[in-house]
Structure 1
Amino acid sequence: MTHSIQQLSAQWAQAVLSQNISQVMAFYADELIAYDAVAQLQFKGKVAYKAHWQRCMEFCAGGHSKFELRDLTIQQNDQIAFSHALVYCEGSNEKGETQGCWMRLTQGWQMQQGQWRILHDHFSVPFDMVSGAVLFELTPEA
């Protein structure tokens, strides 16, 4: 029996929070395409995305103090699933400085050999069209 996307999303978020790169990457398909909010336009393949996740976790050398999914919404059939949520990510660097913000997360899942795998990952942060500034201060309550 396969786990539900809701259960898998919670397990994935816990793996991110614990900074366990092997557990995080176990959720992804080899042929993954990721649009992350950090560093570059896209990542093609699990190997490239693993290197990116590793860099992100190293940036938060003091650990992730929060990684929260909110308003998770899922649509699925027996082969394909689509989920989206707001995600709050907060971590501290080696100096103990804490940074965090709300982002938007969309994930495309595919059933592969009896297991759900993330085939597409998309993190984004809104920006102001006039100034070009990223709107890190936005919250779900605003």
Structure 2
Amino acid sequence: MSDDEARIRTLITHWAEAVHRGDLDRVLADHAQDIVMYDVPPPHEGIHGLDAYRASWPPFFVWQAQGACFDIESLDITAGPDVAYAHALLRCGTPEELAERPTLRLRLTLGLRKEDGRWLVSHEHHSFPHD
């Protein structure tokens, strides 16, 4: 694993831990000002910019406070000198939801770019399989 891949793995792992804790400042910490996120709930045209990204998290934290998990199961990273992408599967659901659908996983894809030697998430895409 390259140094960049290791840095990105740490960035993503810390982000997921911050999401699970509901730590909004840490969730935002390594995201670009011009982030674009396509999420499970609307808006279907996506969320554009760090302010909109910030505003999208409080409803998720309220839902997650019901005892939901947000745990990375697998994470793969490909990094070049100044751009990278990662894809992951996460256990994301309340105990009841996961008991009903134990194999359900959130799919996560991230696009990153290096700015001034620092990796930033510039794109996020979250989805669940349609069954």
TM-score band by shorter chain is: 0.7 to 0.9
Per-residue deviation, 1:63? 4.8
Per-residue deviation, 1:99? 3.9
1:4 aligned counterpart, secondary structure:
helix
Q: How does 1:33-48 map to 2 (within 5 A)?
A: 33-41=36-44, 42-48=46-52
1:52 and 2:61 equivalent? no
Please identify which structure carries the higher helix content.
2
Name the TM-score, length of structure 1 as normaliser: 0.77
Aligned length: 122
Per-residue deviation, 1:74? 0.6
Per-residue deviation, 1:60? 2.7
Is the CA contact (8 Å cut-off) linking 2:20 and 2:64 kept in structure 1?
no
Q: Which amino acid aligns with 2:17?
A: Q
Output the aligned Cα RMSD: 2.0
Partner of 2:101: none
Partner of 2:28: 25
- Structure 1 gaps of 5+ residues are 93-97, 128-134, 136-142
- Structure 2 gaps of 5+ residues are 99-103
Q: How does 1:98-109 map to 2 (within 5 A)?
A: 98-100=96-98, 101-109=104-112
Is the CA contact (8 Å cut-off) linking 2:38 and 2:126 kept in structure 1?
yes
Identity of aligned residues (%): 30
Name the TM-score, length of structure 2 as normaliser: 0.83
Q: Bigger relative contact order, structure 1 or 2, given CA contacts below 8 A and separation 6+?
A: 2
Is the CA contact (8 Å cut-off) linking 2:35 and 2:49 kept in structure 1?
yes
Q: How does 1:1-142 map to 2 (within 5 A)?
A: 4-41=7-44, 42-64=46-68, 66-91=69-94, 98-100=96-98, 101-127=104-130, 135=131
Deviations 1:36-83 (A, max 9, x none): 11222100001101111122112333354x211122111011211100
Is the CA contact (8 Å cut-off) linking 1:109 and 1:117 kept in structure 2?
yes
